[in-house]
Amino acid sequence: MSDRAPQVSQYGSVDPAPPSSLGDIETWKNSLVNDDIPLFQRMRNVFALRNDGSDESCLALCYGFNSKSALLRHELAYVLGQMQNNVALPSLIERLDDLQEHVMVRHEAAEAMGAIGDISVKQVLEKHLADLNPEVSESCEVALDLLAWCNTDEWGETKW
């Protein structure tokens, strides 16, 4: 067992790979869909993009949904939820609505939408409450509850 403590990200998570310190947004973006690059390195690039935090890096992560790896697409949805950037919503909605998408990606897209906290996705989440996959329907329920909480006086001004 190592004496080193795991590194906690600026988002409070211990990531499955350390963020890359080499490259730039465009390089990291293109790596996400390149199956010739080991998955571990692509995961490092995911966290580098997340840590950048810009709209450009958020859109680069959304581009990564073109990856063949369901595990990577799941991680992309997770970090987009951490970033809480509304520019990711169209891509997350597309993942949730795609019935051919892997269930773990759809469930994470729903939870990310809740984490972003934008009430505009309420109807999309409600539509999937009856999804045949309990992982998806229950994630939509959690996301709706989170949206409701984000829009209370406890969180800030009541919006609905």
Number of structural domains, the chain? 1
**The pLDDT of residue 150:** 78
Q: Please check whether residue 158 lies inside any domain of the structure.
A: no
Task: Answer yes or no: is 120 within a domain.
Answer: yes
Phi, psi of 63 (to 5 degrees): -60, -35
Mean pLDDT taken over the chain: 92
For residue 1, how many other CB atoms are within 10 A of its CB?
3
Band the pLDDT of 153: cuts 50, 70, 90: low
CA–CA gap between residue 106 and residue 92 (Å, rounded): 8
Query: Is 111 domain-assigned?
Result: yes
Q: Determine the structural domain holding residue 130 and report its residue range.
A: 25-150
Angle at 73 between CA 29 and CA 80, to 5 degrees: 70
Residue 2: inside a domain = no
For the chain, the C-alpha Rg in angstroms (whole number) is: 16
Tell me the percentage of the chain whose pLDDT exceeds 90: 80
14-64 pLDDT, tens digit each: 888 999 999 999 999 999 999 999 999 999 999 999 999 999 999 999 999
Helix, strand, coil distribution of the chain in percent, nearest 5: 65, 0, 35
69 within domain boundaries? yes
In the predicted structure, residue 13 carries a pLDDT above the cut 70:
yes
**Is the model's pLDDT at 77 over the cut of 50?**
yes
Is 50 exceeded by the pLDDT of residue 158? no
- 156 pLDDT tier (thresholds 50, 70, 90): low
The answer to whether residue 15 sits within a structural domain is no
> Residue 160: its pLDDT value, please?
44
In a domain, 3, yes or no: no
Alpha carbons 109 and 115: distance in angstroms, whole number? 10
Residue with tokens 């994470």: 108
Residue 127 counted as domain residue = yes
Look up the CATH number of the domain holding residue 103.
1.25.10.10
Q: How confident is the model at residue 7 (pLDDT cuts 50, 70, 90)?
A: confident
**% of the chain with per-residue pLDDT over 70:** 91
Alpha helices, DSSP H, located in 13-69: 25-31, 39-52, 55-63
What are 103-120's pLDDT values in tens digits?
999 999 999 999 999 999
